[in-house]
Amino acid sequence: KSVRHQTEVGIGDYKQQSRGDFVLTHASMVAISVTQLDWTTRVEGAIEANGTDGVRDYLDTMIEQLKELSRLVRTKLTKLQSKVMSAIIVMELHARDVVERLIDAQVERTGDFE
């Protein structure tokens, strides 16, 4: 099946599974793409809904999600699952840093930053 089709299926699955289960049961490209799509959607939604306060609230969610993934990466995983999980954790650490910079910049609207 095409990556596009798998990604479309993955978007639906992401809404119904825990993040850990989602990452472990989907192709790495799908898992990475869908988690990044979710992050983008949630950050934009947080800014639009409540500006900096919304982003601050989402940061708390991100930290909990990172804790979940870090617990999962310490379980018995295949080499491939471990690599995918590690890649997603690195990406999410970077995403957390971006969210912290948005908070520091006191972003109130999606057009407030370059």
Number of domains forming the structure of the chain: 1
Q: Examine residue 113 and state whether it is found in any structural domain, yes or no.
A: no
Mean pLDDT on 43-66: 96
SS3 of 85, please? helix
Range of the domain at 65: 3-104
pLDDT of residue 113: 66
CA-to-CA dists, residue 74 to 21, 23, 34, 53, angstroms = 14, 14, 22, 33
Q: Both tokens of residue 73?
A: 């990466």
One-letter identity of residue 25: T
Q: Examine residue 70 and state whether it is found in any structural domain, yes or no.
A: yes
Q: Examine residue 110 and state whether it is found in any structural domain, yes or no.
A: no
Long-range contacts made by residues 37-43, C-beta under 8 angstroms, separation at least 24?
A: 37/11, 38/14, 39/92, 39/95, 43/98, 43/99, 43/102
Q: Examine residue 14 and state whether it is found in any structural domain, yes or no.
A: yes
Q: Examine residue 75 and state whether it is found in any structural domain, yes or no.
A: yes
Mean pLDDT on 1-24: 91
What confidence tens digit (pLDDT) does each residue in 22-42 have?
999 999 999 999 999 999 999
SS3 of 25, please? helix
Q: Examine residue 54 and state whether it is found in any structural domain, yes or no.
A: yes
CATH number of the structural domain spanning residue 70 = 1.20.58.1120
Q: Examine residue 25 and state whether it is found in any structural domain, yes or no.
A: yes
Q: Say whether pLDDT at 16 is over 90.
A: yes
Q: Examine residue 114 and state whether it is found in any structural domain, yes or no.
A: no
pLDDT classification of 3: cutoffs 50, 70, 90: confident
Q: Say whether pLDDT at 94 is over 90.
A: yes
Mean pLDDT on 50-56: 96
Q: Where are the alpha helices (DSSP H) in 1-114?
A: 3-14, 19-25, 28-73, 79-104
